[in-house]
Amino acid sequence: MRYGKTVTSAFLTALVAAVPLTAVAGDKMDEAKDKAKSATHSAKAAVSDSWITSKTKIALFSDDRVKGRQVTVETKSGVVYLRGKVDSPEAKAAAEDVAKGIDGVQSVKNDLQVVSPGARKDVAANDAEIAKQVEAKLARDQQLKKVDVRSDAGVVTLSGEVPNINAAAKASEMARGVSGVRSVKNELTLKTTS
């Protein structure tokens, strides 16, 4: 009888000792599951954004109201950005309508510039020069060397990462100081430290 109590007592002691280990293992499993879900969600978002971009480009090329080759399409978190130069206000509106009709699009940011075909060559040359001048000016500042610059009809768009809000403000100020710049769209994001 004593032997049975000793075995039962040893079994219960081992069981009680194993319960915290099981709880810790359960927590680790839950943590691993959360990480896997997060990674899957990020991958789905990236695939979804590229899918939306592709579908939007195809739709723009197949719409007679818009010359698809004039429109650059980017998608970030379901927001479609339309950039480039189109021939008329109607083409600009049509491009936005087409993009809004694509499944998965959360919203559309229409940054298309209306430029007549005759003036397009001059505007394109001017934009290239403006972007080059802004890039040269920003390259002089260590914090702003890697800022991406795009110019559409004198509207300069700054994108990329900067270390702080002061650097972002300084980039806008420097870009505005370049001759020919009509306005500046600051899409810079702050670097996250891990």
Q: Quick one: pLDDT at residue 127?
A: 85
Confidence check: pLDDT of 8 > 90:
no
Report the alpha-carbon distance of residue 70 to residue 82 in Å, rounded. 10
Q: What is the DSSP letter of 65?
A: T
Confidence check: pLDDT of 47 > 90:
no
pTM (2 d.p.)? 0.52
| Domains of the chain, each with CATH number or no CATH | 44-114 (3.30.1340.30), 120-190 (3.30.1340)
Span 166-191, average pLDDT: 90
Residues 6+ away with beta carbon under 8 Å from 138: 144, 145, 147, 149, 171, 174, 175
Strand partners, 76: 79
Q: Quick one: pLDDT at residue 128?
A: 87
Report the alpha-carbon distance of residue 95 to residue 110 in Å, rounded. 8
Q: Report pLDDT digits (tens) over 89-144.
A: 999 999 999 999 999 999 999 988 888 877 776 666 688 899 999 999 999 999 99
Span 168-185, average pLDDT: 90
Q: Quick one: pLDDT at residue 113?
A: 83
Span 63-82, average pLDDT: 88
Q: Quick one: pLDDT at residue 115?
A: 81
| Poorest-pLDDT segment among 17-31, 103-117, 156-170, 180-194 | 17-31
Q: What mean pLDDT value characterizes the chain?
A: 81
Confidence check: pLDDT of 7 > 90:
no
Rg (CA), the chain: 28
Q: What is the DSSP letter of 192?
A: P
Span 4-22, average pLDDT: 57
94-103 long-range Cβ contacts below 8 angstroms, 24+ apart? 94/63, 94/65, 94/66, 95/60, 95/66, 95/71, 98/56, 98/59, 98/60, 98/63, 98/66, 99/56, 99/59, 99/60, 99/73, 101/59, 102/52, 102/55, 102/56, 102/59, 103/55
